[in-house]
Every structure is written in structure tokens, then in C-alpha cells.
Amino acid sequence: MAQEMSPLAFHGTVIHSLALDELEILEDCLLIVAGDGTIQAIHKNVPRSDVDALITTQGYVPGTISVRYLQRGQFLCPGFVDTHNHAPQWAQRGVGRGQSLLEWLEKVTFAHEAKFEDPAYARKMYASCVRGFVRQGTTTASYYGSKHGEASQILAETCLAQGQRALVGKCNMNRNAPDWYRDASPADSIRETNEFLAHLRQIDPARKLVTPVLTPRFAISCDRDVLAGLRDIAKANPDLPIQTHFNEAEQEMDFTKQLFPEFPHEAALYEHFGLLTERSILAHCIFVSEPELQRLQELHCGVAHCPIANTTVGPFMVAPVREYLRRGLKVGLGTDSGGGYSSSMLDVMRQAFVVSLARRTQTDGRDPPLSLAECFFLATLGGAQVCGLDGKIGNFLVGKAFDALEVHTMVDEGIMTPVEDDDSTAVIWEKFVMTGDDRNIAKVYVQGKSIK
């Protein structure tokens, strides 16, 4: 990875988010990617006849840099960022619909995740998992591994080998799971976590692609000793991100209060154990009280909104995403695969839009629905903010890594709404977001390298 690649240049349509309410559509844009995979220059409104002259101003001799000329119906957009994903659930997606969260864990999930004790199984399944997400345009994923340290190391190695950017965590869980699927003791849970962290520092010391993330599954599955041990690791490693499930379901919240009666709510619990910080990625956040919401805002925590899982496992649950955005919280989207049946971030964007319509109904119009541009922001720059990577990825600012999708909307076979002669670029983009799929994602780049 240290070896530089040949520089690249693209001329055509570029679409990215500058802010939640600012989608930028650039036609006749020249984007130059340096040999280290970062964006060297981006020029707007460049006639094709001026491309060579502008390339020269960047220090290149025309003809020595590959220029990709995008045609009508083709465009670049940032790669998708999946802020909440269970990699060991890749082969159980769609199974267990109609069950409550805790029932689904007991009857479906724990038995499946236990298979990852076998390293050969882990290698096979994680290779398929990462390849599948890359194919669908997920250039960055925040992965929960299983409880197994070795399998979680394999997941990180797989992301590195396939070129996907990832946050990877060994799942901590030493209680309220079957004897055959939980950490043997608090000491074992923390020891395996430290060994996992050491391995990731060894395979990617500069975190060019893979970042370790502390991953207590949720408070129900971790006793006080495990949470205290994770607090010590977080304190000693202040740059480590932290991910957990947070106020996901009323059943889960009630059980948490029984286990930790000394805390008024989950925010107080996680803050006590040093796990509620600006680096925290909190999945779901369906039922958040006003005191908790104020604390999340003060601590600059991130929310991983998972609208597919929230509406297909257990009751139909609607997170108050508009309120989070109104208060300036970082919000991204997550597949929550396999609680979410789909591994497509396009599907997640669509469901986020649908769920926001339900929220408008719930609030008698006080919470306006998300626009498609806002959903796209949450899937790209918003997700990068939640993962602490917005200084590196999420849009096409000069100096950022070129993590990008090359989208082709006019393909011979597919299900996307046909592009017509009088469609504007904005309409073509909307058709892709609402009806496109992986067949429209022709190429995927991470750090300037083509990985699809």
C-alpha cells in the first residue's frame, strides 16, 4: 500500500454533499487524483478542450496521466459509509422477521455467530461479506465482529486485503448469552480485546484503511468488570472509536435498567464507564429522553440510524432523526445487516426517507421528512462524521482520499428507471438513488485504488 499508484483524472459530472442541506452537482468537472490516492485538484465548468491545459498546471504532461471522460448518465459520487454493520450476520440476513430483538438474538443470531469460532469458516464468510459490500458501493464500514478474537482479526485482515476502509471491533459479551457463546470471564474478554488491538496495530499501524473500534455489544451483555476494563482501554487510547447499541428497544432498555438500577438512563451508564464521547457511534437511538439527548449533544456523540432493522425486527420503530439533526448531532446511516435484511446503502437511504415520512405523521408535522439530498448526505459525509473520518473521506474536497463510486445509469440490463433525453442531471441522480442497484455501480475506488 505504500507504493504510489499512477495519478488519475476524471472529466464529467461529480455529485457530492458539502453540508446536510447542500448537494453540489458539478457538470464538466475536472477531478485529479494524485499517486497517493488523495484528491489533488477539482476544477468546475471545464470544457473538454481545456482539460490538457489544466492538467499541465498541476505538474503533469498531457498524455502521461490517464483521463477518464464520463459520458451522459455517468457520474462520480463519494463511496457509501455504513456506520453500523454486523459482519458475522452476513449469512443470516432476512432470517427471524417478526421476532422481538432479544428473541431474535437468542433464537437466530447467537447460534449463527458462534460458527465464527472456526477460523476457516470466518475466512470464507468474511471474504464473501466484504466483497458483497464493496460491490454495492460501501467503501467504509463500521463492523461488529463476533465475540471471537481470532475471527475478528481475520475480518480486519480481509478488509485490508480487499482494500475496503473499515472500523473493526471484537464484540465484548460475557453475560446474558448462552454458555457456548460468551466471553469466558471479564479478564478473558479484556485480554482478547487487547490482543485484537495489538494485531490491528501490527497489520495497519498507520490506520491507512483499518481502524480498531471498542465494541461492547450492549450493556445487557457486559458486566461492570468488562465495562470498567473497556473504560481503561479507552482512557489509555483516546483516539479509539467506540461503538455500541443504544436505546434500541423498550424491552432492551427495561432489561438494562434492571441490571444497572443505579443509573437513570443508558447515557449516564455509558458515560460513567467512559464510553460516551465524541468518538462514540451509538446504533439506533430510538427512545432518547431529553436529559440523554442534551448529554449526547454536549459530548458530540454520533448516531447510527438503521431504518431497515428498526422497522423489520420487532415493532415498527421510528428514530427522531430530524430532532437529532436539528440539535446538530452527527448522524449517519447503517445497514445493521443482518438485523436489517438488506446490505445495500441505497436501500437504507430509501427506507430513511420512508421512515421520516412516518415520523412526520407521528409528530403532526413538527418533524419534516428527510429530503433525498439529506439521505445522501447521511450515507456519505454524515457517516464519515460519525466514524470520525470526515477529515479524510465523505466528499471531494482537495486533500481528502479519493473514496468514490463511478455510477453508470444507462446500462443494458438493470431495473433502474430509464434515463430519458430530457432528464436533467439532478433527475438522473434522483432516479439512481431511488431505483438503482449494484449493477449501476461500475467502479469502486478506495484511496484512489479501484477495488471493483
Give the per-residue pLDDT at 101: 81
Q: By the 8 A CB rule, do 230 and 193 touch?
A: yes
The burial of 3, by beta-carbon neighbours within 10 Å (0-12 exposed, 13-18 middle, 19 or more buried), is given as exposed
Whole-angstrom distance, CA of residue 248 vs CA of residue 255: 12
Pick the closest to residue 401 from 20, 25, 139, 72 (CA basis): 139
Residue 151 has a pLDDT of: 98
- The verdict on pTM exceeding 0.75 is yes
pLDDT tens string 255-283: 999 999 999 999 999 999 999 999 999 99
**Domains of the chain, CATH where assigned:** 8-78+395-450 (2.30.40.10), 80-386 (3.20.20.140)
CA distance 245 to 270: 11
What SS3 state is found at 403?
coil
- Separation of alpha carbons 326 and 11, rounded Å: 36
Confidence of residue 104 (pLDDT cuts 50, 70, 90): confident
Whether 193 and 228 have beta carbons less than 8 Å apart is answered as no
What the block records as the C-alpha cell of 369 is 421528512
Query: Please, which pLDDT band fits residue 313 given cuts at 50, 70 and 90?
Result: confident
161 or 415, which is more confident? 161
The backbone torsions φ and ψ at residue 403, rounded to the nearest 5 degrees and listed phi first, read -105, 110
Residue 1 has pLDDT above 60, yes or no: no
Angstrom CA distances, 121 to 11, 112, 114, stand at 43, 11, 11
Q: Enumerate the H helices of 313-344 as residue ranges.
A: 321-326
Alpha-carbon distance 329 to 320, whole Å?
12
Residue 238 pLDDT > 60 = yes
Residue 11 · residue 73 · CB < 8 Å:
no
Angle at 11 between CA 7 and CA 17, to 5 degrees: 95
7 by Cβ neighbours in 10 Å (0-12 / 13-18 / 19+) ranks as buried
What is the pLDDT, as a whole number, of residue 311? Answer: 94
Mean predicted lDDT score pLDDT of the chain: 96
- CA 263/CA 291 separation, integer angstroms: 13
